[in-house]
Structure formats: C-alpha cells, structure tokens
Structure 1
Amino acid sequence: MDNFLDFEKPIADLEGKIRDLEGLDSGSDIEINEDVAKLRQKASQLLKTTYSKLTPWQKTQVARHVDRPKLHQIINQLIDDFCEMAGDRAFADDHAIVGGMGRFRGQTVMVIGTEKGHDLETRLKHNFGMARPEGYRKAQRLMKLADQFGIPVLTFVDTSGAYPGIGAEERGQAEAIARSIQVSMDLRVPFIASIVGEGGSGGAVALATANRVLMFENAVYSVISPEGCAAILWKTRDKAQDAATAMKITAQDLKELGVIDKIVPEPLGGAQRDIHGAINTLGDAVEAELNALKNKEPGELKEERRRKFLAMGRLEGME
C-alpha cells in the first residue's frame, strides 16, 4: 500500500520499517527475517484492531480511498464478453455511468455502474463518477432493454452524487434521477445493486432501487455527504465527523434500518488492500442473490421491489 489514511499512520510506520528491513543487504539474514516476522505480526494485529473499531467518519474515508475497487476492475474480473453500450439517444454519452451486456458466471446480465477513474486522466474523463442527466437516461435505456429481453440487471454504485453543474440542471438532472428510480421500480427482471464505495444522494439511489441492495462493509450510503450535512446544520464543514455519526451512513447501521439487504465482508484493512479478493467476495454475494431471485415471477419481482421501497420511512400505524 502506498496510500494511507490519516488514522492509518501507525500502520504505515510499521510497514515502512518492514520495507526498510527487507531492503537491507546484511550477512545476518536470519536475524533480519525474525525482525521482519515480528513486525509483520505486530502490523497485522494493529490493522485488525484499527479496522474493528472504525468510526463512521473513518469509514467514510475508507469508502473514498483512492485505491478502492473501481467499476472497470469489477467488470474485468466478474463480467465475460462485456459489450459496452453508449449514449442516451438524446444528447450525449456520459462517461460517469458505464453500462452494457455481458456474462456473469455463465448468465447474461445487464451491467450498469458509476466509474470514478483511477488516475487524473480517467477521473476527468469520467467526471469523478458524478453523472449528468444523459448518464441517468442512458441507464434508463439499458434497464428498459434488459427488461424487454428478460435479462437481470446488476448495478455497482460508487459516486459522491450526481453532477450539480448548471448545464446538468438545465438539462433536467432531478427529472432524470426521478425517472431512473421510476424505471427501476417497474422492472420485471431480477435487479441487484451493490454499493462498493460511496453511495451519495439521489445519484446513487437512481441506480440502487433494486430487489436486493448489497454493500461492502466499509462503504457508506447517504442522502448527502457528511460535509454537506455539517455545512447545512452547523454552518461549518468542521462538524463532518459529528454529521457522519448522526446520519447512520455505515453498512451496519443501514442493515439494521432495513435500507440495505446484505453486508459484503472486505479483506482485513479494507477492499483497497486486496482488490481481487474483495471483488471475488462481492461476486459470490451477487451470485447467491441472483440465484435466489431468478425463479421468481416477473410480476412478483416488480411488486416485491415496490413494496420494499415504498415501506421505507413509513411510520407504524400510518395508512
């Protein structure tokens, strides 16, 4: 790991010492190996201790980690014969949302997800994962296509939210997001969404109104960012840590509240430390849910999804 978070500094120091020892040219290799083994054990224990008691704000930092699994890595590892489909047939092709058909463990699926990019060039190309209206209209088009041919829909969400620019608002950002949710509600095929990093605002909900919502254990999912919430409630972004705690944005909180259906475990130290292993675990979880849904009738899938989301936030005893 080259990129460490602030709270990981003690771990970074230990791993730095390990690299220094491994790079030494010494005649006493046995002694050095013993020292390295002791430091590795200490670093592993510290990593385990640190990640067993992460605060909501620290989980937010992990969810935003630059090395978290990206959509292109998920597609490359889980989807065979992926054929990307571009454009909304109305305005343009939005690279923040990538979608197309492929085969997931032997079954044809429609894959749609947000791509943040992994370096400056790709982040700019994909607009840091913040979609414009044409991105959500592309998603709608692909969902309808999947519905027409009876193909399950898999979405992967990692976005801080929809793009808030003037041009996006002029082209109907709110309407595009709302319409994506409406299309999602009406699908008659299995629909599984996975929150893999940051699930921000309506920009995330537009791709996550699914029969089953999975979430990496260190991902976050909320109506607004902690910084945005703090700026509104306390008039300062310095209260972001308090906001993160109050908003119940972690996978554990959301599972308890019934907003998500399953928490997908991550490798020790977060998905960024073992991207291949994390994606494989996610694939197993998606496969299990897909197998559970594929024998249900189309009308049942649609009705189950609608009941699930319309029940959220409803007070007991209210008609």
Structure 2
Amino acid sequence: MLLEFEQPIVELEGKLAEMKQLAESSRVDVTEDVKSLEKKIQKLKEETYKNLTRWQRVQLSRHPERPYTLDYIYNITDDFVEIHGDRTVKDDKAMVGGFGTINGQTVMLVGQQKGRNTKQRQMRNFGMANPEGYRKALRLFKMAEKFNKPIVTLIDTPGAYPGFEAEERGQGEAIARNIKEMFMLKVPVICIIIGEGASGGAIGIAIGDKVLMLENSWYSVISPESCSSILWRSWDYKEQAAEALKLTATDMQGFGLIDGIIEEPLGGAHRDSDWMFNTVKDRILKEIASLQKLSTEELINQRIDKFSNMGEVVE
C-alpha cells in the first residue's frame, strides 16, 4: 500500500529501476548516475520521514503491512501458548494473550489483534475488544501474578467496541476494573503501543510500570476522524484534529505521559519487521531486568505515583 506522501519516493525508485534495466540491456555504464540517484532517494526518504505531520504518522500506524500483536508475539517468543476465554461469556478474538518465553524469561503477553483480510477483520472485530476481551486480559494478568511472571501488553486498537451488546455487558465497568486492578499487580508490567492507542480501549491494558510507544504510533482519547466529526460534523478536518490532539509518541513523551519511544526503521515498522521484532524484544528484556530489581511495594507505589502525577489539577 502506497501512502500519498510517499509518492515522490516511489517515482524516484521507479526511475532508478528503469536506469538499472537500461544499463543491463544496453551495457551502458551508468554507475555514477545510479549512485547519485540512490543518494538522492535516501536523502528524500530521510527528509520525508523525519518531518511527518501528525496525520501522516497516524496513517503509518494503520499501514496494513505493519506488524500486529501476534506478529510480535510469535517472533519474539520461543514457545507461545495462547490462553482463551474469560470464563464468563466467550473468547474475544480481538484480545489475545498467553505465556511465552523470551530468551529464557517466561512472560505473560496480552494485546489487541487486528486482521489482515476481510474475514480476519470480521473475526477480530477490527481489534476492538468487547467486555469479555478486557475480562480475559484481567484473568491473564492475575494468572501472571499468581506465577510471579512479568506482564507485557501490546496496544493496537481504534477503541473498545461501542456496540449495544458491549454496553449491555458492561464495557465501561470492564475497562475501569482493569485500570484499578493493574495498579495493584505485584509483578512488573510493561505496556507498548505498537500502532493505534485510542481511548479507553487502549488504556484498559495500558497501566504499567513502563509505558512505551513505537515511533510511528499514536495515543489519544479519541481518533482524529471522530474528533473532526464531533467538532466540525465532518471527517474532512481530520488533519487539523490530529494536530490539535498532539497524539504522537514525541508529544506523549513531552507531556510526561509515556516513559520512552522505540525507534522504527526508516519508513515504518513494516519496512524491516525483523529489525523491529529484535528491537522490541531487546527493549522488553532490558525493562524487565530493571524492574525485577524493585520490591513488590516499590513497584506498586511507583506505578501509582506515576499516573497520579499526570496532568494538572486546579482547586
């Protein structure tokens, strides 16, 4: 999939391919021209991806080839075992989780999963979990706590499912309970926003000792399109909404709402997924090693203090 702002890069890459093909067919030496054009393309890529607008980063976060939660899980663990169901209603396919081993360290991994094609998107409900999804996540958090294993959550959702049935089964209560319970978990909790981090759907599994964001992910109370539709009654102002929301990883770190940014390959995580998997894996192991040095009381107190100090209160 080609994004609009990537068009100039693709055009130059097309010219480069034509030049190489011409050189092969006519045996003309164009080595210097090829090197010059390659340098020009690299410079254009660096300038383009370095100066992305907030809306363009939102577009990258939604790229259909971008790695999803299960892509990370299967590539960073050696023996992932998925655990299903909330023991109350059903197994929510939009929320996945289970135990896996990362370089000998057993970890509970939980996250939202999107689909690659129409059938998968319907099965995964576009990564929008129902109440049973959040209750399944909480069941897995408690299981990790029982066996004293660190928790890693991978956040990638356009929001919790807003359907009638979800509200009827207590969507708000399920998310609120997760937030409350995650504050008191006695094991290290690392939360990573790998794509979209929208509203309560994201924060329902995002209360952790370390909250990290991938470079081209976003985190906000509302999506740019929904914000635009509320304020201007049209999606046409989504770019202005994205700028006003200040939802990028850089914005979030500036506000003190996250603890760090994980760099992506030039052009986005989908450009070099293997590099991205290894980078996330290394960061998880680093954070776990650091957090395991703290006592249970220190973990909980620091987690509560961190979130309690966010924002400004005027009395």
Q: Which residue of 2 aligns with 1:83?
A: 81
- Misfit runs of 4+, over 6 Å: none
Q: Which residue of 2 aligns with 1:304?
A: 302
Structure 1 residues 267 and 30: alpha-carbon distance in aligned structure 2, compared to 1, 3 A threshold: farther
Give CA-to-partner distance per residue, 1:226-257, whole Å, 9 cap, x none. Answer: 11111112222211111111111010110011
Identity %: 48
Q: Give the residue type in structure 2 aligned to 1:90.
A: T
Distance 1:167 1:192 in 2: 31
Distance 2:24 2:244 in 1: 53
Q: Which residue of 2 aligns with 1:241?
A: 239
Equivalent runs, 1:134-173 vs 2, <5 Å? 134-173=132-171
Q: Which residue of 1 aligns with 2:10?
A: 12
Q: Which residue of 1 aligns with 2:202?
A: 204
Q: Give the residue type in structure 2 aligned to 1:117.
A: G
Q: Which residue of 2 aligns with 1:279?
A: 277
TM-score, normalised relative to structure 1: 0.94
Structure 1 stretch 280-289 or stretch 180-189: which is displaced more? 280-289
The counterpart of 2:121, out of the listed 120, 123, 127, is 123
Q: Any stretches of 5+ residues in structure 2 without a counterpart?
A: none
Distance 1:206 1:299 in 2: 22
- Partner of 2:293, secondary structure, is coil
Q: Give the residue type in structure 2 aligned to 1:7.
A: F
Distance 2:35 2:165 in 1: 56
Distance 1:79 1:29 in 2: 48
Equivalent runs, 1:106-121 vs 2, <5 Å? 106-121=104-119
Q: Which residue of 2 aligns with 1:71?
A: 69
Q: Give the residue type in structure 2 aligned to 1:145.
A: M
Verify the 8 A CA contact 2:23 2:29 in the aligned structure 1: no
Q: CA deviation at 1:35?
A: 4.2
Q: Give the residue type in structure 2 aligned to 1:192.
A: I
Q: Any stretches of 5+ residues in structure 1 without a counterpart?
A: none
Give CA-to-partner distance per residue, 1:114-169, whole Å, 9 cap, x none. Answer: 11122233222211111111110100000011111111000111111111111111
Equivalent runs, 1:218-237 vs 2, <5 Å? 218-237=216-235
Structure 1 residues 29 and 85: alpha-carbon distance in aligned structure 2, compared to 1, 3 A threshold: farther
Distance 1:196 1:118 in 2: 16
- Partner of 2:29, secondary structure, is helix
Q: Give the residue type in structure 2 aligned to 1:63.
A: S
Structure 1 residues 19 and 72: alpha-carbon distance in aligned structure 2, compared to 1, 3 A threshold: farther
- Partner of 2:201, secondary structure, is helix
Distance 2:163 2:267 in 1: 35
Equivalent runs, 1:243-262 vs 2, <5 Å? 243-262=241-260
TM-score, normalised relative to structure 2: 0.95
Q: CA deviation at 1:61?
A: 0.7
Q: CA deviation at 1:28?
A: 3.5
Distance 1:16 1:169 in 2: 50
Verify the 8 A CA contact 2:194 2:214 in the aligned structure 1: yes
Structure 1 residues 37 and 310: alpha-carbon distance in aligned structure 2, compared to 1, 3 A threshold: same
- Partner of 2:79, secondary structure, is strand
Distance 1:143 1:20 in 2: 54
Structure 1 residues 47 and 190: alpha-carbon distance in aligned structure 2, compared to 1, 3 A threshold: same
Structure 1 stretch 17-26 or stretch 157-166: which is displaced more? 17-26
Q: CA deviation at 1:177?
A: 1.0
Q: CA deviation at 1:187?
A: 0.4
Verify the 8 A CA contact 1:70 1:118 in the aligned structure 2: no
- Partner of 2:107, secondary structure, is strand
Q: Which residue of 1 aligns with 2:40?
A: 42
